[in-house]
Amino acid sequence: MRNESLHVELSLDRFPVVSGTVRDAITTSPVSDAVVEVAQGAVLGSALTDRRGDYTIIATNATAPATLFLNVTAADYYKTSTTIAALKNGTYTRDFFLQLDNQPPTSSLGALPTYTTEEIVTLTATASDSNGIESVELWYRYNETGAYKYFGSKSSSPYIFEFNASLEDGDGLYEFYSQAVDYAALNESPPSGNDTWTIVDTTEPIATLSSLPTFTTTDMVMLDATASDADGVEEVQLWYRYDETGAFEYFGADLTQPYSFDFNTSLMSGDGLYEFYVLAVDGAGNNKTPPAGNETWTIVDTVRPVVSLNSLPAHTTTADFTVTATASDPNGVADVSLYVSKNGSAYTLVSKLTAVPYSWTIQSGSWGGEGAFGFYALATDRAGNTRNVPTSPDATTFVDTSAPTLRIVSPANNTLTDETTVVVTWSGSDSGSGIQMYKIQIDGGTWMDLGFNTSHTFTGLLSGSHIVTVNATDNVSMSTLDSIAFGVDNRPPDVTITSPIVGSVVKSADVTVTWAAADAHSGVDRVEVALDGGAFEEIGNATSATFYGLENGEHDVTVRVWDRVGNYEDATIVFEVKVNGGTGNSTAILAGIGILAAVVVVALAALLMRKRGAKPPEEGPKGRAAEKSG
């Protein structure tokens, strides 16, 4: 680029300004009336050169710093472009030297079909020129008469024209050619004839069908049609629809008069409502517009109606339930009858319904209550066709309205035991759907599935109260619960002798021994005492006993406390009796104890001897419990 200079002004109230001179590249003569544009995507400003070839352009609202694009076009010259790296409020000089262009552009139109059935004809042109295409023009002529007329132009590729025949001369023959113009204002010469042509034909042919009877009792439906068009009919098409569902479907075409069709319903959808219309096609490919509905129709009815029952659940848990039927027939359903069988008995008519919905409420109590129910339905159409009796029921269900029965057999409720292993047994039954499973839990814990087992063993139970619950569930998910409570006590009672003190010296031949006894689980059942290793005597729930006439010397007393499940605990106290001037006479005192009581004590001691080192009582106690208290 020659004669280029750059000036920058730091002014806040001006836009970038570009100026310069446009000259002939060979003669350097100024080129006037050249178009100079400055752009950043959109054109920001433009100017025509004066007779000296000079121009000045203000780049209005330019983005800076950024690139400005300059384009120069002039008649008989090639288009020239350059760029400027513009800063804010800059002033720039750009001179241009243009090359002569004496080669006109070329263009052509894409081929059109022989017939066009739409009013809009879309034409696409291609054009080329070494200097670039400024525009492409479309010219047309109607029915080969008169000169070509200008239609319009396009200034950018692709060069696409939408020619609306309805705004020109309507249907007929149209010829077209294109003419290109380059940036040097050179025009392409018009061709001697057309680039392409088409016949616009938007008029559809006429066709009708003869009417049909309301009912057709054979598979074959015979249809006759008539058709006409000014340019001739290529074919007549038959379209049909079944049972007013979905779109019409193509059946076939007849190419010659008379136009007739043999429509075999057995090869289509069988019996039902068939609607028909015909379409005609002319030489241009115009189709008759399909009608909004049918042109004729008929009902084909050669078979019995169809009926079915909605499925029922395998088990029904309510005494009353609903049975519903659906029925269809191309000629319409007159009535539907429901039949029922209970536990395999003969079928009995429930009732006949003549209108939808076909629905019956079955009260199982009216049919014997719980059990197996089977149903089928018979439908009759308006022509009198009735469905054959089926060989198996259409729907079945088992009515089960009762929860299972359940009873825990052992252990008995509120039982006490000293065992840490407890076996729980139960019995259950369900006369309806049958037992599905048993579950068990203890003390509100996790349920354990036991299947069909009717016993369960709990081991390692802790002392205390326990609650066991058994759940019986049948095959319709109805459940029954039964619970028992029992206590486990495998710990002996607590017993503490409070008086006299161990190793103490008692200065009396009569000695009272006191104690405290308790059992946190099953409770204290009874207390026994023994003196000096003698036999135990039961003294109820007393908390003290007095021994009379003890001899001087060392003595021991054992207190044995029993709980209600047979656990016992012993406590022994050793003390010395020291009475001045005497030795006591225990033998004489013991004579006051009844012989019967001694026998009972011996027998009970032998019977209960099973916990914590229990041993049979020894004969010959050294004193007697003359009193007991507590």
Q: Which CATH number is 28's domain given?
A: 2.60.40.10
Give 542's pLDDT tier (boundaries 50, 70, 90).
Answer: very high
pLDDT at 9 over 50: no
The span from the CA of 281 to the CA of 404, in Å, is 76
55, HSE (Cβ side, Cα atoms, 13 Å)? 29
Residue 34 maps to a domain: yes
pLDDT digits (tens, 9 = 90+) for 240-284: 999 999 999 999 999 999 999 999 999 999 988 999 999 999 988
Residue 361, token pair as written in the block: 């409420």
Note the pLDDT of residue 581: 60
Q: Name the band, by pLDDT with cuts 50, 70 and 90, for residue 589.
A: very low
Kindly report the average pLDDT of the chain as a whole number: 87
Q: Is the pLDDT of residue 520 over 70?
A: yes
- Asked whether 157 and 73 are in contact (CB, 8 A), the reply is no
Q: What span, in angstroms and rounded, lies between the C-alpha atoms of 199 and 222?
A: 38
Half-sphere exposure of 340 (CA within 13 A, CB side): 20
**What pTM does this model have?**
0.40
Which of 114, 202, 206, 205 is CA-nearest to residue 166?
A: 202
Identify the DSSP state of 365: G
Q: Report the alpha-carbon distance of residue 39 to residue 60 in Å, rounded.
A: 10
The pair of three-digit structure tokens given for residue 579, joined into one six-digit string: 């009475």
Domain extent, residue 182, equals: 106-200
Within 10 angstroms of residue 426's Cβ, the number of other Cβ atoms is: 21
Q: For tokens 């040097």, what's the residue?
A: 184
Which residue would you say has higher pLDDT here, 611 or 512?
A: 512
Q: What is the per-residue DSSP string for 115-179?
A: EE-SSEEEEEEEEE-TT-EEEEEEEEEETTEEEEEEEEEESSSSEEEEEEGGGTT-SEEEEEEEE
Burial of 381 (0-12, 13-18, 19+ CB in 10 A): buried
φ, ψ (nearest 5 deg) of residue 245 = -120, 130
**Which of 200, 235, 258 is at the close of a domain?**
200
| Tens of pLDDT, residues 404-415 | 999 999 999 998
In what helix (H) or strand (E) does residue 599 lie, and over which residues does it extend? helix 595-608
**C-beta atoms surrounding 169 within 10 Å:** 15
**Which 3 state secondary structure label does DSSP give 558?**
strand
- Least confident segment among 140-154, 214-228, 545-559, 591-605: 591-605
Which tens digit of pLDDT belongs to each residue from 287-337? 899 999 999 999 888 888 999 999 999 999 899 999 999 999 878 899 999
Mean pLDDT for 148-168 is 96
Give the integer Cα–Cα distance in Å for 261 and 351: 46
Pairing of the two strands 115-116 and 196-200: parallel
Is 515 in the same domain as 619?
A: yes
Same structural domain for residues 66 and 110? no
How confident is the model at residue 153, as a pLDDT?
96
- Residue 1 within any structural domain of the chain: no
Where a domain ends, among 268, 300, 332? 300
Same structural domain, 590 and 503 = yes
Whether residues 574 and 453 fall in one domain? no
Q: Which of 9-23, 207-221, 530-544 has the lowest mean pLDDT?
A: 9-23
Structural domain total, the chain: 6
Q: Which of 98, 121, 150 is the last residue of a domain?
A: 98
